[in-house]
Amino acid sequence: MLLPMTKPRIIFISGVGRSGSTLLDRVLGQTPGVVSVGEVYRFWSHRYLRRSWCSCGALVAECPFWDAVEGELGATDAAEAEAQEARQWRVVSQRNLPLLPMRPLRTKGFAEDLAGFLAVRERLYRAILKAGDGSVVVDSTKIPRFALALARSDRFDLRIVHLVRDSRASAYSWVRPKSAPTPDDPNARMQARRAAQVSAWWMVSNPLTELLRLQGKPYLRVRYEDYVRDLEPWAAKVLDFAGIDARPVGLSGSEVTFTGDHLIAGNPIRKRMGTTQIRPDDEWKTKMGRRDRLVATAMTWPLLLRYRYRI
Ligand SMILES: [Zn+2]
């Protein structure tokens, strides 16, 4: 008799980029059974279509962990990876967002794309759990449209961690030039955006994430400013929320000790190894330009109040 397979359990970190998601992903991943893999949606591009580093220091294309994942999934070539990429972006496009909850409105093409996307995602998460010998994956993709697409299927045990950061800090982090060397460019910088763009995105991304709670998905809101000040209790809270019966590992006060993990993409902190002191990054309070600060505050104040930030 075949036993029913358990659904892959996923801690999906949703929110706006530069909110400390890579740190949270790694902190959780130090606990046995928790497999921290960064921005999962970039698997196809970073494994097959470009040269990029895994957090272990190897290229994603050559990392033994991702080799093991590929061993489970079966090898893919560049053309197939491009097709996977294109399909996932069709599924999560802004234009198709209303089709996700409205089954009768879906075109045949969209329904096929969504079914294919969900089937491949299930196989990918299962392969990650097997390669990492774990019971839960941490996916810090952040883009809520991916979580909304995954939420259309009952084949995942999806737990949403809504990571919120003060919009002024988010905007400042995107405006400020930040070094992020790549295997091909030691002088590369992280993508920059204007404060107004980030603020507009902040005002869309947060309500979209809250939509997942309205849809009945398990949901936990974590504020960056709270968890970086109290890493251990917050990590314990997230593990408990994910049904992991274990205490966080590698934390001592404001210090975290990173051992080997295999994150795709994300903040440069993903490449740090050993013990690191974590300090809240509130440089925006003293260094953010007056105009950017005004723009961000004016565009986001209703939700700033909702998330208990001072205006
Ligand atoms: Zn690796």
* Model confidence pLDDT, tens digit, residues 133-186: 999 999 999 999 999 999 999 999 999 999 999 999 999 999 987 788 888 888
Does 311 reside within a domain? no
Does 141 reside within a domain? yes
Q: Please give the distance, rounded to the nearest whole angstrom, from the Cα atom of residue 66 to the centre of ligand 1.
A: 7
Report the distance separating Cα 235 and Cα 27, nearest Å: 7
Q: pLDDT exceeding 90 applies to what percent of the chain? A: 83
Question: How high is the pLDDT of residue 86?
Answer: 97
Does 1 reside within a domain? no
Question: How high is the pLDDT of residue 182?
Answer: 86
Q: Please give the distance, rounded to the nearest whole angstrom, from the Cα atom of residue 54 to the centre of ligand 1.
A: 5
Q: Please give the distance, rounded to the nearest whole angstrom, from the Cα atom of residue 46 to the centre of ligand 1.
A: 12
Range of the domain at 173: 9-306
Does 48 reside within a domain? yes
Question: How high is the pLDDT of residue 259?
Answer: 87
Q: Please give the distance, rounded to the nearest whole angstrom, from the Cα atom of residue 267 to the centre of ligand 1.
A: 15
CATH number at residue 161: 3.40.50.300
Does 180 reside within a domain? yes
Domain count for the chain: 1
Rounded mean pLDDT of the chain? 94
Q: Please give the distance, rounded to the nearest whole angstrom, from the Cα atom of residue 262 to the centre of ligand 1.
A: 4
Question: How high is the pLDDT of residue 178?
Answer: 79
Q: Please give the distance, rounded to the nearest whole angstrom, from the Cα atom of residue 44 to the centre of ligand 1.
A: 15
Does 2 reside within a domain? no
Q: Please give the distance, rounded to the nearest whole angstrom, from the Cα atom of residue 143 to the centre of ligand 1.
A: 23
Q: What is the pLDDT of residues 246-293, one digit of tens each?
A: 999 999 999 999 988 999 987 777 778 899 999 999 999 999 999 999
Q: Please give the distance, rounded to the nearest whole angstrom, from the Cα atom of residue 16 to the centre of ligand 1.
A: 25
User: Which residue has tokens 């990650």?
Assistant: 128
Q: Please give the distance, rounded to the nearest whole angstrom, from the Cα atom of residue 305 to the centre of ligand 1.
A: 40
Of 32, 13, 31, nearest to 256 (Cα)? 31
Report the distance separating Cα 293 and Cα 196, nearest Å: 10
Does 4 reside within a domain? no
User: Which residue has tokens 């975290």?
Assistant: 256
User: Which residue has tokens 């196809």?
Assistant: 44
> What backbone torsions phi and psi does residue 295 show, to the nearest 5 degrees?
-60, -50
